[in-house]
Amino acid sequence: MNTTSMKPCLRVCEIRRLICDQLQGRPECYAMALTCTSFKDAALDALWYHLDSFEPIVCCLPTRVYFFSTGVLRSMEPLLPSDLQRYLTHYAPRIRSMEIAIRDTARYQVDGELLHALQVAVGFKQGALAPKLRVFAWPTHRPLTGPNTNLQAVQRLYPYMSLFLGEHVEELYDTDFSHNSHSTTSIYSNAMQLSKLKKLTIAEVEDGFASEFFPSFPWANLETLSVTLRTTSGPAIVYHAASLPKLKTFSMIDEKGILCMCRPAEMPDVEGGVLFPSLRELNIATDDIPSLSALINCVPIPNRIESLSLFTQDIGGFRETQAFLELLSERLNPIFFCCLSVIWFG
């Protein structure tokens, strides 16, 4: 099909992109890219928008540089910068989202040597393989990653994630700062470079990260923070979050009553003297009301919180519940506060 035979509306690039956005699956996007030259760019954008494996990247490499061995893709010959030219020019700039699933059921796993060869070929440039990436989900070794998670393969990936984490990353998910000091250091060093980060989900943390690493993150543009608290130094994350200037949504899962350890007197001194200056939405999941009360007491007066969602296993007795509601009425500004949601899942 050539451009002259198309209806006038199909010559508008925005319409072509809208059409390609509605395609279901990679095969349809690939077929559309071959339909006519006018649809090629829009279809390729849709095809490469999200990656959930390394396979599309591997398919762009010359076969001489790798070989298969017991289900693992290994490096065979040196990878030259020219070997990546087609991928870096035509495909890498189209990637906006990555969520690499590491499963034993995958066709193959990528060996660390091949990933290192990619690093060398791009001159160790941060984000070189996905320079315009916006959303990245870390491969993790937690049970929540799903069945058949290959733990060894996950560990091999951490030192090479800088290949995808460029300056445009705005959302980081499933960040796991636990269990392995090497993986924690890799995530930490990469995350420190993300000056435009707006949304961060921390799946799990260890004491060292909560008390030492996390408070050193500037994250001046962070707007949404979700964290699961499992260690006694969890309050350190709450204290540092209070100093983030643009934080609008703060979500916490407190599995061990750690929020009870939060103390208003230990809240940090910040420039201007205002804690949680931009906070609008607070979501808390914990075991009991005392944990909820401890956190609410750390929220400064005045504040502009508009929405509060509470998930708890124990709503307590009448007096305890009444005291908690009175606390909310004291600390939340009725001019701004408009939504309270309490969900009991006990």
Place of tokens 């969602």: 309
Q: What residues pair up with 286 in beta bridges, in sequence order?
A: 312
Specify the pLDDT at position 144. 39
> Higher pLDDT residue, 296 or 145?
296
Rounded mean pLDDT of the chain?
80
Whether the predicted pLDDT of 197 surpasses 70: yes
Mean pLDDT of 77-98: 93
> Higher pLDDT residue, 284 or 209?
284
> Higher pLDDT residue, 6 or 322?
322
Whether the predicted pLDDT of 234 surpasses 90: no
Whether the predicted pLDDT of 189 surpasses 80: no
Question: Considering the chain, what percentage of its residues have pLDDT values greater than 90?
Answer: 29
Q: Is 127 exposed, middle or buried (0-12, 13-18, 19+ CB in 10 A)?
A: buried
Whether the predicted pLDDT of 145 surpasses 50: no
Domains of the chain: which residue ranges? 9-48, 49-166+183-191, 198-346
- Residue 330, classed as helix, strand or coil, is helix
pLDDT (tens digit per residue) in 2-15: 445 556 655 556 56
Mean pLDDT of 64-91: 87
> Higher pLDDT residue, 238 or 288?
238
CATH superfamily of 198-346: Ribonuclease Inhibitor (3.80.10.10)
Q: Give how far Cα 195 sits from Cα of 127, 170, 226, 284, 325, Å.
A: 13, 9, 18, 27, 39
Closest CA to 112 of 159, 65, 149: 159
Q: What is the 3-state secondary structure (H, E, C) of 232-283?
A: CCCHHHHHHHCCCCCCCEEEEEECCCHHHHCCHHHCCCCHHHCCCCCCCEEE
